[in-house]
Amino acid sequence: MTAAGTERVIVIGVGTEYRCDDGVGPAVIERLRGTVPADVELLCSDGEPTRLMETWTDAAVAIVIDAVSGGDAAPGTLHRVVVPEAPAGQATPPVPGQPVLGQTVPTTAPASSHGLGLGAAIELSRALSRLPAQLILHGVQGEAFGYGQAFSPAVETAIDDLTARVRADVLSVSAS
Amino acid sequence: MTHRRERTLATAGIARVEGEGSLYLRVSGDQVDEVRLDIYEPPRFFEAFLRGRSYREPPDITARICGICPVAYQTSAALAIEAACGVQVGGPLADLRRLLYCGEWIASHSLHIYLLHAPDFLGYPGGIELARDQRAIIERGLRLRRAGNAIMETIGGRAIHPVNFRIGGFYSTPAKSGLDRLADQLQAALDDALETVRWVAGFDFPDLTVEHEMLALSQPGSYPIESGTLVSTGGRAFGAAEFEQQVIEEQVPHSTALHARLAGSDGTYLTGPLARYSLNSRWLPPMAATAAAAAGLGDSCRNPFRSIVVRAVEVVCAIEEAIRLIKAYEPPSIPSVEVVARAATGHGVSEAPRGVLYQRYELDSAGTVVSARIVPPTSQNQAAIERDLRQFVQVRLDLTDEQLARECEQAIRSYDPCISCATHFLDLQVDRT
Provide the residue-wise pLDDT of chain A in tens; the chain has 176 residues: 444 446 899 999 988 888 888 899 999 999 999 999 999 999 998 888 898 999 999 999 999 998 887 777 899 999 888 887 544 444 443 343 344 444 443 334 455 555 567 888 888 999 999 999 999 999 888 888 888 889 999 999 999 999 999 999 999 998 87
Percentage of chain A beyond pLDDT 70 is: 77
pLDDT of residue B275: 98
Residues 6+ away with beta carbon under 8 Å from A172: none
CB spacing of B132 vs A105 below 8 angstroms:
no
Q: What confidence category does residue B429 fall into, taking pLDDT thresholds of 50, 70 and 90?
A: low
pLDDT of residue B257: 63
Q: Is A96 within 8 Å of chain B by CB?
A: no
User: Which member of B119, B128, B413 has the closest CB to residue A124?
Assistant: B128
The pLDDT of residue B293 is above 50: yes
CB spacing of B139 vs A128 below 8 angstroms:
yes
What is the ipTM for the molecules in this complex? 0.83
pLDDT of residue B255: 62
Q: What confidence category does residue B16 fall into, taking pLDDT thresholds of 50, 70 and 90?
A: very low
pLDDT, mean of residues B114-120: 91
Percentage of chain B beyond pLDDT 70 is: 88
Please report residues of A whose CB lies closer than 8 A to that of B67: 16, 46-48, 114
Please report residues of A whose CB lies closer than 8 A to that of B46: 18
Q: How far is A100 from chain B (nearest CA, A)?
A: 10
Q: What confidence category does residue B41 fall into, taking pLDDT thresholds of 50, 70 and 90?
A: low
Please report residues of A whose CB lies closer than 8 A to that of B112: 113
- The string of pLDDT tens digits covering residues B378-401 is 888 888 988 888 888 889 888 887
Q: How far is B89 from chain A (nearest CA, A)?
A: 30
B73, B61 contact by CB (below 8 A): no
- The string of pLDDT tens digits covering residues A99-133 is 444 444 333 445 555 556 788 888 899 999 999 99
The mean of the pLDDT values for chain A is 80
The pLDDT of residue B73 is above 80: yes
Q: What confidence category does residue B111 fall into, taking pLDDT thresholds of 50, 70 and 90?
A: very high
CB spacing of B132 vs A127 below 8 angstroms:
yes
Please report residues of B whose CB lies closer than 8 A to that of A107: 125-126
A window 113-172, beta carbon within 8 A of B: 113-120, 123-124, 127-128, 145, 147-148
User: Which member of A114, A119, A124 has the closest CB to residue B68?
Assistant: A114
pLDDT of residue A64: 94
- Whole-structure pTM value: 0.90
The pLDDT of residue B8 is above 50: no
Q: How many CB pairs under 8 A join A and B?
A: 166
Which H or E element spans position A83? Answer: strand A78-83
- The string of pLDDT tens digits covering residues B74-110 is 999 999 999 999 999 999 999 999 999 999 999 999 9
Q: How far is A136 from chain B (nearest CA, A)?
A: 18
pLDDT of residue A89: 40
Please report residues of A whose CB lies closer than 8 A to that of B145: 50
Q: How far is A116 from chain B (nearest CA, A)?
A: 7
Q: Is A48 within 8 Å of chain B by CB?
A: yes
Q: How far is A125 from chain B (nearest CA, A)?
A: 9
Q: Is A16 within 8 Å of chain B by CB?
A: yes
The span from the CA of B384 to the CA of B403, in Å, is 22
Taking CA atoms, what residue in A is nearest to B412? A111
In chain B, where the domains are located: 5-42+396-432
CB spacing of A109 vs B13 below 8 angstroms:
yes
- The string of pLDDT tens digits covering residues B167-220 is 999 999 999 988 988 999 999 999 999 999 999 999 999 988 999 999 999 999
Q: How far is B360 from chain A (nearest CA, A)?
A: 21
The pLDDT of residue B24 is above 90: no
CB spacing of A115 vs B112 below 8 angstroms:
no
- The string of pLDDT tens digits covering residues B252-280 is 776 666 778 999 887 789 999 999 999 99
The pLDDT of residue B132 is above 50: yes
Q: How far is A29 from chain B (nearest CA, A)?
A: 17
CB spacing of B422 vs A17 below 8 angstroms:
no
Q: What confidence category does residue B412 fall into, taking pLDDT thresholds of 50, 70 and 90?
A: confident
pLDDT of residue B42: 62
Which of B20, B128, B407, B418 is best to mutate for the A interface (most A CBs within 10 A)?
A: B128
In chain A, where the domains are located: 8-175
The mean of the pLDDT values for chain B is 88
The CATH number for A8-175, chosen from 3.90.1150.10, 3.40.50.300, 3.40.50.1450, 3.40.309.10, is 3.40.50.1450
CA distances to B143, B208, B285, B287, B309 from B292, rounded to whole Å, are 21, 19, 11, 9, 8
pLDDT, mean of residues B313-338: 97
Please report residues of A whose CB lies closer than 8 A to that of B426: 110-111, 115
The pLDDT of residue B305 is above 80: yes
Q: How far is B115 from chain A (nearest CA, A)?
A: 8
